[in-house]
Structure 1
Amino acid sequence: MTYGHPLLDAMHAAAHGARVWHAVSLPLLQPGADAPPSPPEWVMLIPAGTFSGRDGRGPYTLDIEAVLAAFEQGGIDLPIDYDHQTLEADGKSGPVPAAGWIKELQAREGALWGRVEWTPRAAGLIADKEYRYLSPVFRHDKQGRVLSIEGAGLTHYPNLDLTPVAHQKGDPMPEDLFERLVMMLNLPATTTPDELVAELQKAIDQLATLKTEAQSRQPDPAEWVPMSQHKAVADELAKLQTQIAQEKAEAAVRAAMSAGKLAPAMKDWALSYASKDPEGFAHWCEKAPAILPPEGDKSAHRVAPNADTLTEEDRIACALLGMSEAEFAAHKKTLIKE
């Protein structure tokens, strides 16, 4: 059996064998605005499943069927005392009063619950929070299976991490958490717990609505193209646009050369210009003078009487091409000789 209080547990370990206690919190009930709070009639005595005490002992596993059978076989109410004084009753010189009596046991979602008939004195102590925890006393086997319950005690030292006995039912959360939630939801400082719950439910409903709307807006696969296919089409289009631009540039350069506005040595420059800036090259061709006879003009094969002499058109071409008159004259002489 375990007692929840480390000192009591150590004292009783040798004397009583596998007897253990654990403390359970007692929530206060609020029957009405004018009525004082009262301890609950039904309390959870042993948690469901596998559990251990705060002091590290355990693990224990509740055998609910065995506990209920042992209680029925015993046929008596189980005592709830103060600070487990019943366990030391033989050494007490005075009375060991009961705080209440466990009248009935039930299994609820795997946990053991008991119906308690509290004494008026115990009810007052719990209401005033002079006692907050209920520590059940149970027996277990070597495997840690809880086989029976022998009673409980009101105590100040919980060994199980459960809800306190004197915890107000109307205030189910820590005060700092309540204040944070009120602030996060931008609610008035006078917000009550019920109003906070209503606002939280509103927020939950809104999130559910947004989730439903988001799911309804999921794209139809039949109306969308896979990204790989989209990229392939885009790459092909870019390649085609580059090819068309190159062909237009070559056509513009050929036209300029046919008009005598470009010498063969300027072809690469003209192709680069026409590819990068078609409009700029077209404007240049429009303003540039002819420096060579147009294609098909037989006079192009006649040698100029004075190749070193620059015409007014030649000087304009020098300015447009950024060449000195000497460089232009030398280039012109070479072209005429050719």
Structure 2
Amino acid sequence: MKDYLILKGGQMAVGDGVPEVIPVLPLGHVVSSKGEFDVDEESFQAMKAQIAQRGVDLVVDYEHQTLKGVEAPAAGWVKELKLEGGQIMAVVQWTPRGAQYLENKEYRYLSPVVTVRRSDGKATGLHSLALTNTPAIEHMTPIVNSDLFEGGQHIMDIQKLAELLGLGTDATEEQILESLKACVDENKSLKAGAQPPADDSVVANKTVCELVGLKAGAPVADVTARIMELKSGKIDGVDLKAEIQTLKQQAAARDADAAVTLALKAGKIAPAQKDWARQYALDNPQGFAAFVEKAPQVVPMGELLGDGTMALKGGTLDEATMLVCKQLGLDPEDVKKYNLKEE
């Protein structure tokens, strides 16, 4: 992890007028408001390589506004870094506004923002430069090494993390990382302990066992087999789907017979229509019910016998029976032969 350090630029005066080349960092040991670090030729080469890799000019802003996530107009742009006279120098192309500030001596100091390699405390990157009149800002928050900069965010997050871990706000980064690592290891251990072994020795949940008709503690294999059996519609070898279908058919047949019987008794159908009516009631119960409700009475009340036959009086069909035969297109002789009883 790298920190950005705001340099204490007490000796980093821009100078009079609008110079095109300005000092950025002296070679050697540098003391900043947030720590000490070293600058050498390796630092210079690393900074040049970093800028080249980004492919954009380095910004010179006002009061480090680039770091604060706010509107940050440029005072100038660093076009090149040079190593001259024991210092890293920057060739700057100033904006008209930036040049005017310098010309009027409204800004006089430069404050660079560098990255420092933690392993040896050497400056290895240059993030930006800023014009400021207070180059030695005390108690300024370090900036996290990111392309998205928000002033103070790094320290604030570290303090919150320390608080969540039960550490004091004065905890060091090493203490926080150690505590965080312990939490991660503990979490991994808990997850590993929660994983079931890869065999069927693990018993299923008690409630699940009871729901599928097994004793609590049944092996997973037994529970799985029972669930698959239920999905197939069979229990203990009995095809439940077939049983249910049979019951449905029987119930439908009873309902159809009852509907036809009521229709016959109401005189809405003739005995000769019984088979047709029963099939209609089986295929479409609602349709048959609607038909019976709207159908006129075609058989006089009292003419129906208990066994569903018409009375034959004097060996002939009465007027009502003849009317039914005519409406249904039945042959009276067939009615006499198959569907009537003599009184």
TM-score scaled by length of structure 1:
0.36
TM-score scaled by length of structure 2:
0.36
Q: Which has the higher contact order (CA 8 A, sep 6+)?
A: 1
